Every structure is written in structure tokens, then in C-alpha cells.
């Protein structure tokens, strides 16, 4: 089963609004990453947050991590139509190579112009 589960599965918003996606995981981690995937394309790394960090920013992205709740959120502010994509959280796989990742189920974001 997937280490990470994301909600919502799908999110549709108007351009200019903020989009928030959540990710929950089951085991202890030392970091959590968010990736973006445009339809039919590969993944693009967005941001990595370490277990000793609570919040991290990158441009219009804000990621939070709550290790006590085993959850993370990705906030995209002032969304644009070009932000339409699937967003996945990923965590190092328990018991595997430190470089192996387990991906969440993903959130499909649609930003309407």
C-alpha cells in the first residue's frame, strides 16, 4: 500500500485562489518531498522539507510538516492556470534504500482561468 495518502483526490479552483493539498504518511521519516506532474509527463521536484522543519517556502509554494500527526500540506498561493497538474508527496521508503521513494496517491489540481 502507498505510504502517502493525499486529499483531496481532485481539486478545482478559480485562478487567483489558493490551493491546499494534504498528505498523510504512516512511518517515521527524515524528509518529505512534493512533486508535480503535468499530464502525460514526468515529475518535477518542487520542494523538500526535513523532519526538523515545520514550514518551508519556495516562491508561491508553502509546505508544512507535522511529524506528530504524520502529515504535510502544500499550499499554492495565487494560483494560475499553468498550475494545473497532479501533485504528489513522496517519502523515503521504510526499510529500503534511503534513496527509494514512496509516492502518495496524488491530488489532481485544476485551475480554471
Partner 1 sequence: GAVVSQHPSWVICKSGTSVKIECRSLDFQATTMFWYRQFPKQSLMLMATSNEGSKATYEQGVEKDKFLINHASLTLSTLTVTSAHPEDSSFYICSAWTSGTETDTQYFGPGTRLTVL
Q: Which residues bind partner 1 (CB under 8 A)?
A: 2, 30-31, 33, 35, 40-45, 48, 88, 92-93, 97-106, 108
Please report the DSSP string for the chain in residue order: --S-EEE-SEEEEETTS-EEEEEE-SS--SEEEEEEE-TTS-EEEEEEEETT-SEEEETTEEEEEETTTTEEEEEE-S--GGG-EEEEEEEEPTTS-TT-EEE---EEEEEE-
Question: Cβ 42 to partner 1, closest distance in Å?
Answer: 4
Comparison of 95 and 113: residue with beta carbon closer to partner 1: 95
Q: Please say which residue, 15 or 48, places its beta carbon nearer to partner 1.
A: 48
**C-beta closer to partner 1: residue 30 or 58:** 30
Query: Smallest distance, Å, CB 26 to partner 1?
Result: 15
Amino acid at each position: 500500500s502507498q505510504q502517502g495518502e493525499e486529499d483531496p483526490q481532485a481539486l478545482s479552483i478559480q485562478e487567483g485562489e489558493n490551493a491546499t493539498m494534504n498528505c498523510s504518511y504512516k512511518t517515521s521519516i527524515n524528509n518529505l518531498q512534493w512533486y508535480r506532474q503535468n499530464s502525460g509527463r514526468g515529475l518535477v521536484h518542487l520542494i523538500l522539507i526535513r523532519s526538523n522543519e515545520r514550514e518551508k517556502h519556495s516562491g508561491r509554494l508553502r509546505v508544512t510538516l507535522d511529524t506528530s500527526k504524520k502529515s504535510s500540506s502544500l499550499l499554492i498561493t495565487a494560483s494560475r492556470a499553468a498550475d494545473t497538474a497532479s501533485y504528489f508527496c513522496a517519502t523515503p521508503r521504510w526499510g529500503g534504500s534511503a534513496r527509494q521513494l514512496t509516492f502518495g496517491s496524488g491530488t489532481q489540481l485544476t485551475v480554471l482561468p
